[in-house]
Amino acid sequence: MIDFEKLKTAMGELDNSTVIELLEELMAAGGKGADEALAACQEGMNVVGDLFESGEYFVADLIFAGELMTQAMAIIKPAIAVGAGGNIGKMILCTVQGDLHDIGKNIVKAMLEAGGIEVIDLGIDVAPATIVQTARDQKIKVIGLSGVLTLAIDSMKATVDAFKGAGIRDDVKIIIGGAPVTAEYCKFVGADAWSLNAAKSVEICRNWLI
């Protein structure tokens, strides 16, 4: 059995070689303890979030953390039991129509998944109708809209309006995030919350889902 505390520490310190080495060792031994390893990785990602909040880590660290978490998941996925990872619910995440930036979205996605949220990633340049349809079809109650360009604000508003038009605005909570987002723009868009950092986004979404 691997040392889960060491795994958590390595994830928090973004020590990729130790994380990969420990997980490969676990899988080579038959995959026993994969659920605990997933939990350790998630706790390590919480440490990453805390270090971001404290100012020690910044965006490049979150990009690296997201990639490391993705790699870790790929290694242990075959041995993880269904329902492991403390899954608290599903949400939609995407970059809104007209915007092709995915780095911020992917950072948030990795942090959300580490926070026990199953993410339906609709990708980039996603039309409001697609988001509404997915929410309706899969009964999703939390929507995350990302964007880097200032025009993303208009697309976010169009998406919120599309939920209103479909008569299901009150059934969902919508959070917006990305470089141009401000409190004023949140009001303009008609979203329920806004965030400029991944850790805060996770906190908000978890509170909505629990």
Partner 1 sequence: MDSKELLAYRKQIINDAVRMERKPDRTLHFANYWTWIILDGGYKISEALHDWDIMEKCVVEFQRKYNFDLLLNDGVRNPVSIVEPIGQSAYEIDDEKEIMNIRDISYMKEDEYDALLENFNKFLWETVMPRKYNRFNSELTVKQFGEVVNRYNACLQYIQRVGARLRGEYGVPDGLMTTPMVQCGFEQMFNFLRGIKGVSYDMRKNPDKLKATCELLDEMALSPALSQLEKGTTGDSTYAFDLVFAMLGHTILNIKQWERFYWPSLKKVLDAVVAADKTLYIFAEGISGRFWEYFKDYPKGHIAIHIEQDDVFEFKKALPNCCVAGGMPASLLGGGTKEQCVSYAKHLIDELGAEGFILSQDKMISYRNDTNPENLKAVCDFVREYR
Binding stretches for partner 1 (CB under 8 A)? 14, 16, 55-61, 63-64, 67, 97-101, 103, 149-151, 153-154, 179-180, 182, 184-185, 188
Residue 209 CB, nearest approach to partner 1 (Å): 29
Task: Write b or e for each residue in 91-127: b if 16 or more Cβ atoms lie within 10 A of its Cβ, otherwise e.
Answer: bbbbbbbbbebbebbbbbbbbbbbbbbebbbbebbbb
Residue 207 CB, nearest approach to partner 1 (Å): 25
Residue 66 CB, nearest approach to partner 1 (Å): 9
Residue 91 CB, nearest approach to partner 1 (Å): 24
CA–CA distance from 8 to each of 20, 80, 104, 167 (Å)?
A: 12, 17, 24, 44
CA–CA distance from 143 to each of 54, 73, 134, 174, 205 (Å)?
A: 27, 23, 10, 5, 9
